[in-house]
Chain A
Amino acid sequence: LAKTTQPISMDSYEGQEVNITCSHNNIATNDYITWYQQFPSQGPRFIIQGYKTKVTNEVASLFIPADRKSSTLSLPRVSLSDTAVYYCLVGDLGTGANNLFFGTGTRLTVIP
């Protein structure tokens, strides 16, 4: 199980780009990196997933360096509605469901 480390909380002003970094030093060869967003009293929402380099979709970008020991979720021009908890998951479910582990995530607060 690849352990992940994220900042507990972050603050950002509206309109700024926010980068949330996740450390996963013992990531395995077959592991993917997945990010979720969770609003209070709601289920998490899948944001983005990647294996290496850069992945971009309509919501966010995911940057993964060559050594894959960390990853950065980038949210462009955040708004107040982006205030949420963001989870980084790393693993390969082919080795078992114990890799489905959501830690406590990063609580992002967007300030007007």
Chain B
Amino acid sequence: SQTIHQWPATLVQPVGSPLSLECTVEGTSNPNLYWYRQAAGRGLQLLFYSIGIDQISSEVPQNLSASRPQDRQFILSSKKLLLSDSGFYLCAWSADFSYEQYFGPGTRLTVT
């Protein structure tokens, strides 16, 4: 069966510090991968999606970037965090580019 992992589970970072969040998927090959952010009390906002290695599409202009160095690895990064980057970051995968997505446990990021 397929499993999706995210780490760390929680993170507290000062403004201006870098960020690296990692997501890996097991049990499937060539998944579509997604990064979402959920601010407190809000819906999910799609940040990036990837249909293959080194194929990243950005949906929202921001100071974040994403990379996919391996088929089942998706990384979310920032060079300098802003207070507004605080939120719950979720990685998801799907077998094809579809609404049937499977989410990881999430990373709660607090920028102080």
Given contacts A34-B99, A97-B59, A101-B43, 7 further A-B contacts (CB under 8 A): A34-B100, A45-B103, A89-B99, A97-B57, A100-B34, A100-B49, A102-B44
| B interface list, Cβ under 8 A from A | 34, 36, 41-46, 49, 57, 59, 88, 90, 92, 97-106, 108
| Residue numbers in B under 8 Å from A91 (CB-CB) | 99
Residues of chain A whose beta carbon lies under 8 Å from any beta carbon of chain B: 32, 34, 41-46, 49, 87, 89, 91, 93, 97-98, 100-105
Given contacts A87-B43, A101-B46, contact A93 B103 (CB under 8 A): no
Residue on A nearest B96 in the bound complex, by CB:
A93
15 contacts across the A-B interface (CB closer than 8 A): A41-B106, A42-B105, A42-B106, A43-B90, A43-B103, A43-B104, A45-B103, A89-B99, A93-B98, A97-B97, A98-B46, A100-B34, A100-B49, A103-B43, A105-B43
Q: Of A32, A49, A87, A100, which one neighbours B46 at CB under 8 angstroms?
A: A100
Contact of A49 among B90, B99, B102 (CB under 8 A): B99
Closest Cβ of chain B to A55, distance in Å, is: 13
Quick one: given A100-B46, A102-B43, A102-B44, are A46 and B106 in contact (CB under 8 Å)?
Answer: no
Contact of A43 among B57, B59, B92, B100 (CB under 8 A): B92
Nearest chain-A residue to B103 (Cβ)?
Answer: A43
> Please, how many angstroms separate the alpha-carbon atoms of A89 and B92 in the complex?
16
Query: When chains A and B are docked, how far (Å) is the Cα of A98 from the Cα of B57?
Result: 11
Complex contacts, A105 vs chain B, CB 8 Å: 43
A97 to B45, CA, bound (A): 11
Say how far B110's CB is from chain A's closest CB, in angstroms.
13
Residues of A within 8 A of B88 (CB): 41
Q: How far is the CA of A98 from the CA of B49 in the complex (A)?
A: 11
Nearest neighbor of A44 in chain B, beta-carbon distance: B103
